[in-house]
Amino acid sequence: MNIFDELGKIYSEIDNICASIQVQARSKRQRKKESADFRKRQFNNQAYFLFMFTRLEDRVRDISDTLIDNKVATLTDWKTKRTWEIIHKQKSNDSLHFMNRVALLTPKGQIDYNLIKQYYTQRNNIGHGGSFTIAISIPTVIADMKRFYKDLKG
């Protein structure tokens, strides 16, 4: 089982428990309890989304690092190599932006790039104390993350 399936399984277990309690509270017209469990499910969504996104961030970092190192080590023509040397410097001083790393692995402006950018925006909202600004479906996130993990190549 890969990490996304594993996280998805734990996420579902927690979400199912909270959903069940939420329905029971709704049946008993316990509005406060229903709202509290709805909120718990939202936090669960945020926590697992963030957890999954960090796995993708690691993957993007690893593949882009390898790509950059290989280019700098193997290119001999200065005209081509100079760009990679600048990128390598940014990598070394940790100033290479995440979305620029993504752009090294999938064409900028195309479907996968745009999708990762949308998720990255949500990741930043959650990471800086906010909440999702659009609805998130964790099963969809899992499917997308698995695909990115497999398809992104240096």
Partner 1 sequence: MTMQKTIEVDKQQVEKMVDDWKKRVSDLYSTIELWLKDSDYYIKRGSKLKMYEELMSQFNVHATDVDTADIYKDNKIVLTIMPIGLWVIGANGIVDILSNKGSCKLVDTSEQFETPQWKLFNGNKKNGVEFNKQSFFQLLNK
Stretch binding partner 1 (CB under 8 A), from 13-21, 55-63, 73-81, 93-101: 13-21
Q: Which CB sits closer to partner 1, 84 or 149? A: 149
For the chain, how many residues are written?
A: 154
Give least dist CB 66 to partner 1, A. Answer: 28
Q: What does each C-alpha distance from 137 to 47, 84, 107, 118, 132 come to in angstroms? A: 13, 37, 25, 13, 11
Nearest to 55 by CA among 146, 153, 126: 146
Three-point CA angle 11, 17, 22, nearest 5°: 120
In three-state secondary structure terms, 132 is coil
Residue of the chain from 144, 145, 149, 152 that contacts partner 1 (CB under 8 A) = 144
- Residue 59 within binding range of partner 1, rule CB under 8 A: no
Q: Which CB sits closer to partner 1, 99 or 115? A: 115
Query: Which DSSP state fits 129?
Result: T
Touching partner 1, residues 87-126 (CB under 8 A): 111, 115, 118-119, 122
Residue of the chain from 2, 16, 66, 70 that contacts partner 1 (CB under 8 A) = 16
Q: Which CB sits closer to partner 1, 87 or 145? A: 145
Tokens of 14: 């927690």
Give least dist CB 61 to partner 1, A. Answer: 22
Three-point CA angle 139, 144, 148, nearest 5°: 150
Residues that bind partner 1 (CB under 8 A): 12, 15-20, 22-24, 26-27, 41, 111, 115, 118-119, 122, 133-137, 139-144
